[in-house]
Structure 1
Amino acid sequence: MREFTVQQNQSHSVLITGSTSGIGLAIAHCFARAGHHVMLHGLASDETAQALRAEFAGYSGNQGFSAADISTEAGCAQLVADTREAIGNPSILINNAGIQHTAPAHEFPAEKWQQILAINLSAGFFLSRDLLPAMRSNGWGRIINIASVHGLVASEHKSAYCAAKHGLVGLTKVLALENADRNITANAICPGWVETPLIQPQIENIAREQQVDLDTARAELVGAKQPMARATNPSAIGELALYLCGEFANTITGAALPVDGGWSAQ
């Protein structure tokens, strides 16, 4: 049986999709602070991209940015090429990019269904497929899929999102099984409510409609689903991802790890 060298203590090249804001950006900062080389990715203007690169310039590792459109197989291939050019071949892949649209299933637009599955699920497959050969050859790799509590349970009006995130959890398990003999792990992180700008409009709507303060509105929004009625800090997702790439997580693979305040425990 081939022996592989454990590489958790060295700097790695890390590709993080959807990392211009929110959870993805927090993950990128966690890995950059730890000394890893980070490839940022997202749909951003040249000015935003330059600002992001400047933001990461103070870290010891190298960094790059790509605006490749990962809704297509060709776009995923472009992102892989951009990453290899900027920071070398990534041994850590974090599939974080995602989009959302809500509507009842019987009214769900076909175009939105296809877009959500393309970005939230298919991109993770194509990027994993393209990067796994080098990981397998090197005998070390980490794939982390940022799924969702909606990869474990369902909510109304989110048929495409739930289908994609459940699929991402299933893909994670297959990748874990297929690569267990190459010192490669694959895991899914499944956040519930996360404290990002995306939830702020919902909080403000509740505050306005119920004539309550923002803290009360936030607890109302989050507590409707989570027994622990507080949202997760995005950095907590980053630190968990970093842990999954570290020394003590060598045998954690094929897991779907909820970070959801007890939402999926109900």
Structure 2
Amino acid sequence: MTDLSGKTALVTGSVQGIGLAVAKALAGAGARVAVHGLATPEQADAAVAEISEAGAPEARFFDADMRDVTAIERMMADVEAWGGADILVNNAGIQKTASLKELDASTWDAIIGVNLSGVFHTMRLALPKMADRGFGRVINIASVHGLVASVNKAPYVASKFGVVGMSKVAALEFAAEGSKASGGVTVNCIAPGWTETAIIEPQVAARAALFGGDRDKGIADLLKEKQPSQRTSDPSEIGALALWLCAPVAHNVTGVTIPVDGGWTAQ
């Protein structure tokens, strides 16, 4: 079992879905968790409580709009003052499905801002500190859409391809930092396929409408189209993989993107 006692993890977008599952997995291994998200006070308190119950010795909520560089810089400074991010999980993300001819500039800017620029700014601020400590783990939650494309997702696909490429650059730049004994500094991506989260609900609803509102049939139709296993993933499965990537044994796993997609990107 990975022991993260004494480590601090910042997980963006961790009040629900994959981010919350990752935060709970790290908490269960003893990490302190910096919780983040755009949430009401009640939602933030509920997430902090759930992560604390999962085992985090400390959990604290940090609020930052990932489209706002100043807000990100303030959050990262606050996390550094709290102990510093030994582990950074970039999970915050938004999506809107529409064709190129339907999309507008504000939608493009928002998706690129949160999904790509936000990841850049957290990494540029966290990675030098990790290098100083000789240990660091950056795990960027990309998507199968960082490896393959789908129609009606131009800004989302562009942002996730960007995250995958940028992560490879960061992995190379920090590959020699630290040592096997200290754990080194690694940067990797996880690329989920269809996973039971709120971000896919608009697509599920649209597909369910083709079957008289039957959600199960809508999900089955989506899976049949893309995911050969015909099974969705649970967010906890992404959390388990993120936890393994934080283990000392993973010190030489860097610059990779690991799909959790039931064979989608193997086709």
Q: TM-score, normalising length from structure 2?
A: 0.91
Kindly state the Cα deviation for residue 24 of structure 1 after the two structures are TM-superposed: 0.4
Q: Does 1:29 align with 2:30?
A: no
Structure-2 residue corresponding to 1:247:
248
Equivalent residue of 1:145, what SS?
A: strand
Q: How does 1:113-262 map to 2 (within 5 A)?
A: 113-182=108-177, 183-200=184-201, 202-203=203-204, 205-211=206-212, 214-262=215-263
The CA deviation string for residues 67-126 of structure 1, in whole angstroms up to 9 with x for no partner, is 2112121111122123234x4101111111000112211332101101111110011111
Q: Does 1:14 align with 2:9?
A: yes
Q: TM-score, normalising length from structure 1?
A: 0.91
Q: Is the 8 A contact 2:136 2:185 kept in 1?
A: yes
**C-alpha distance in structure 2 between counterparts of 1:211 and 1:125, whole Å:** 42
- Which of 45, 67, 77 is the equivalent residue of 2:63? 67
- AA at the equivalent of 1:76: I
Count of matched residue pairs = 259
Kindly state the Cα deviation for residue 9 of structure 1 after the two structures are TM-superposed: 5.6
- Which of 87, 107, 111 is the equivalent residue of 2:106? 111
Q: Is the 8 A contact 1:194 1:233 kept in 2?
A: yes
- AA at the equivalent of 2:66: I
Q: Which runs of 5+ in 2 are unaligned?
A: 178-183
The CA deviation string for residues 162-199 of structure 1, in whole angstroms up to 9 with x for no partner, is 11000000011001100011021100100110012444
**C-alpha distance in structure 2 between counterparts of 1:63 and 1:212, whole Å:** 39
Q: Choose 190-199 or 95-104, whichever is displaced more.
A: 190-199
Equivalent residue of 1:47, what SS?
A: helix
Q: Which runs of 5+ in 1 are unaligned?
A: 1-6
Structure-1 residue corresponding to 2:180:
none
Equivalent residue of 1:94, what SS?
A: strand
1:35–1:118 distance in 2 versus 1, CA, 3 Å: same
Q: Is the 8 A contact 1:40 1:65 kept in 2?
A: yes
| RMSD between superposed Cα atoms in Å | 1.9
Structure-1 residue corresponding to 2:87:
92
The CA deviation string for residues 206-264 of structure 1, in whole angstroms up to 9 with x for no partner, is 44532585444322122211111111110010110110010321111000111111111
**C-alpha distance in structure 1 between counterparts of 2:68 and 2:4, whole Å:** 34
- AA at the equivalent of 2:221: E
